[in-house]
Amino acid sequence: MYKNRCYMPFILYPPDMYDVFGQEMKNNLVDSLALNSSGTDFVMYISIPYCRVCCKACPYFMELLPMNSYKTHETLDRYVDALITDLRNHASTKRWSTAKLRGVYIGGGTGSLLEIKHLDKILTTLEQGFNLSEDCEITLEGNAKDFDIEKSKFIASSLINRVSLGAQSFQPEVLKVVGAPHKARQTISTIKMLQDTGVNHISLDMMYNMPEHTVSQWEKDFKVLHELGIQHLTTYLYRITPGTRQDALIKSGKVVPVADAESMMVKEMQLMIRQFAADAGMQNYMYEHFSLPGFESRYNHWTMKECVDALGVGPGAYSFINQRRTGTSKDVERYIRDVMSGENTFTTASSPLSPIISRQRYIIFNLLYYRIDKEHYKSLWGAEPVVDFGHILNGLIQDGMVYDEGPYLVVTEKGKQWLQNIMLEFFDDSMWENSTALEQQQSSWAMNNHMIDLGSSSKSFWLAKI
């Protein structure tokens, strides 16, 4: 049992990256990414860096769309033109033209802000420029407010085969507290409209423990979810990020603080999630992710479980290419300017991952699935996990956090309650108290900053045992 519980989900590893300055450095980076070599499997993230409003606790969005409808169309047209050019540039390289594209995630920002003509252009470019696998999952993420019957019909007949909506809650008073751009009834009507037009893979994001959130409200949400009959559910503990509007409102006393994550109320809310999933026939296949059998996120599977290359396209998007993380600036104008002037868009990069850090990354990501496949690990690295991390794994087994199930190392029910701490066990010693990484924060995307903050803290704080 650890003294301090970590609630930060691992998304990006390793966290430290450096700024890429000058054309010579960019050219050297392109060479090190082996873009002229044949590729294998990969996934793609497409960033749509706009929102209609900024939700009060959101640290991620890039820019607000203009209120004027003409300027909105003009802004999106201009951005998508640059995006298409960038996609074609990537498709012209040997690595991406020969590799198998396993999954695409159109997010942001708000992916659903795109009009039908924009989606059509993007999908056509993907189909013509890349080698899509037969079961390639293409997800459109967004907000219920952005869908109408014509867009729903287009999606149902297009390459998009999964829609992910940020519902957050079905209670109007809760949506008001978090500053959501949509109404509760819009989410319900949009889901039914999508279902009626033939979209049969819908995922919802729900949040709990917002300011003044109650068990009764959470229970009402599950009743609505039961009636909607969705295929996939992701539940997030509401997090207050320093510097956000919600953080300022709480500090000023205008908004009630969230309940302690260790409180009985939060524990009860988490129990309700598991009970709903069981009643609905959903499996908790991944941390915070639940699905009906066969509706697990394939994009996540290839990104996290298989640890294949990931190509991030657009402002604030991160890539993982040839054992190196790279990123583009979150500055939209800079991105458009770089693309249209023929510059490559990489602005940050990690050092090449050493063999041990690559293995740590694999373990960390696979822990999100609650188990590590020994044979798959061995096929990649030539030895079983216990050879590389025996001292850590044996300690976790002894503490009842993990057990050996023959082909797999499996996280126990006790271990699931301490999953982030278990992940931190595999955080490389060189990453802790890393002041160099801290200096790069301002140019990083928010999630990477969370990771850097975590790594800049003390290893003993998170891993000390009771």
Residue at which a domain ends, from 305, 339, 372: 305
Q: Is the dihedral of CA 272, 273, 276, 277 positive or negative?
A: negative
Which residues form the domain of 49?
A: 14-305
- Closest residue by Cα to residue 280 from 236, 229, 234: 229
User: For the chain, how many structural domains are there in total?
Assistant: 2
Residue 440: its pLDDT value, please? Answer: 53
**Is there a domain that residue 414 lies in?**
yes
Same structural domain, 103 and 205: yes
Same structural domain, 222 and 292: yes
Which pLDDT band holds residue 9 (cuts at 50, 70, 90)? Answer: low
Residue 190 belongs to domain with CATH number? 3.30.750.200
Provide the mean pLDDT of the chain.
Answer: 92
Q: Is residue 442's pLDDT more than 50?
A: no
Same structural domain, 112 and 237: yes
Which pLDDT band holds residue 447 (cuts at 50, 70, 90)? Answer: low
**Is there a domain that residue 331 lies in?**
no
106 touches 141 (CB < 8 A): yes
Q: Is the dihedral of CA 213, 217, 219, 220 positive or negative?
A: negative
Same structural domain, 45 and 2: no
Q: Which two tokens stand for residue 260?
A: 């302690």
70's enclosing H/E stretch is helix 69-91
| DSSP-derived secondary structure letter, 9 | P
* pLDDT tens digits for range 123-144: 999 999 999 999 999 999 999 9
| DSSP-derived secondary structure letter, 302 | I
| DSSP-derived secondary structure letter, 465 | B
* pLDDT tens digits for range 384-434: 999 999 999 999 999 999 999 999 999 999 999 999 999 999 999 888 876
The whole-number average pLDDT for the span 356-370 is 97
* pLDDT tens digits for range 188-220: 999 999 999 999 999 999 999 999 999 999 999
Residue 426 belongs to domain with CATH number? 1.10.10.920
Same structural domain, 8 and 69: no
Q: Which two tokens stand for residue 82?
A: 């640059």
pLDDT greater at residue 364 or residue 350: 364
* pLDDT tens digits for range 228-272: 999 999 999 999 988 899 999 999 999 999 999 999 999 999 999
Strand pairing of 50-51 and 41-48? unpaired
Q: Is residue 183's pLDDT more than 60?
A: yes
Q: Where are the alpha helices (DSSP H) in 208-331?
A: 215-228, 245-251, 264-279, 298-300
Residue 444: its pLDDT value, please? Answer: 46
Which pLDDT band holds residue 441 (cuts at 50, 70, 90)? Answer: very low
